[in-house]
Amino acid sequence: MEHKIQGLHHITAIAGDAKRNYNFYTEVLGLRFIKKTVNFDDPKTYHFYFGDEIGSAGTILTFFPWGNSIPQGRRGSGMATEIGYSVPKGSLEFWVERFEKYNVIYNKPAQKFGEHYLTFLDPDGLKFELVETDDTRKPWVTNEVTVENATRGFHNITITLNDIKGTANVLTSIFGYELVSQEANRYRYVVDTVDHASIVDLVELPSEKRGHVANGTVHHVAFRVKDDETLMYFREKVEAAGLNITPQIDRNYFHSLYFREPGGVLFEIATDNPGFMVDESVEELGMNLKLPAQYESRRSELENHLVKLN
């Protein structure tokens, strides 16, 4: 078997208010709420998953909504600073009107790498781009966000660094990405194993202040592999490169490894297996509070503590 990284698996960020986070991503952006569980290390905090109908790799955006007491984060060097979603060509006008309707902070459409895009902020200040592409993935749709305009999943992730060399080496030498284009200080790396969610942009800003991971920032970026055998193959590669990497961790819906790349960003490698239907049917996804086995005995306590969603 040939072992390959297959683009992005999921991206995890930090939010404040849980209900506000849930409402924004399901109602304004029109994503499907695919899993309601808790943080493995802090079970009194939710872990939300949003994506397409079944939570396909490359569409999964997850959040730790730690409440309003968490300090505001700051975008800067050594962190993932922008999340890019694919949307259909000609749909940016729809999104501008929608952001006006819901008082979402956004910038007017612009262009880079020959692609039209617009940036916006979620209620916690997390930065996104909507990028017009020919993405053929089947979207999740709602009454207001129809197939003509709905997001298709991730297009790219942007990482800001003082010096891109170490991070670029991980992408190319370990993960199999290639540098395909450069515009000013933005370098575009692409992996050819998948058609979508395949892009990592590195932005080099030598004097940029170090970012602070807290509310409204990306916590980690997860890259996709097919199965456990491939996961452990990449563990050996990362370790051979002199980087510290965790043992395999069971996250219930995928199996993971974590390491911090030389620029300071927390990278995860995650498997396709077993998937989000391991404990809920497709129809039931996101409807029930799913707890890791070690917290099932505390269900009543946790259900009473966690904020109720609409």
Is residue 239 pLDDT above 90, yes or no? yes
CB 5 within 8 A of CB 58: no
Residue 1 has pLDDT above 70, yes or no: no
Contacts 24+ apart (CB under 8 A), 94-100: 94/148, 94/149, 95/120, 95/130, 95/149, 98/28, 98/144, 98/145
Counting beta carbons within 10 angstroms of the beta carbon of residue 70, is it exposed (0 to 12), middle (13 to 18) or buried (19 or more)? middle
CA–CA gap between residue 68 and residue 124 (Å, rounded): 10
Cα separation, 235 vs 243, whole angstroms:
10
86 with 133: CB under 8 angstroms?
yes
Average pLDDT over residues 138-165: 98
Q: What is the mean pLDDT of residues 23-48?
A: 96
Residue 69 has what pLDDT? 83
At 68 the pLDDT is 85
Coarse DSSP helix, strand, coil percentages of the chain, rounded to the nearest 5 percent = 20, 35, 45
Q: In this structure, what is the dihedral angle of CA atoms 239, 202, 4, 138, given to the nearest 10 degrees?
A: 140
Q: What CA–CA distance (Å, rounded) separates 107 from 284?
A: 36
> What is the tens place of the pLDDT at every residue in 270-284?
999 999 999 999 999
Q: Where are the domains of the chain?
A: 8-305
- Torsional class of 26: left (φ above 0), alpha (ψ -120 to 50), beta (otherwise): alpha
pLDDT tens digit sequence for 129-148: 999 999 999 999 999 999 99
- pLDDT computed for residue 2 by the predictor: 85
Average of per-residue pLDDT across 89-96: 98
Averaged pLDDT, 118-131: 98
Quickly name the fold that domain 8-305 has: 2,3-Dihydroxybiphenyl 1,2-Dioxygenase; domain 1 (3.10.180)
According to the model, what pLDDT value does residue 40 have?
92
Tell whether the model's pLDDT for residue 152 goes beyond 60. Answer: yes
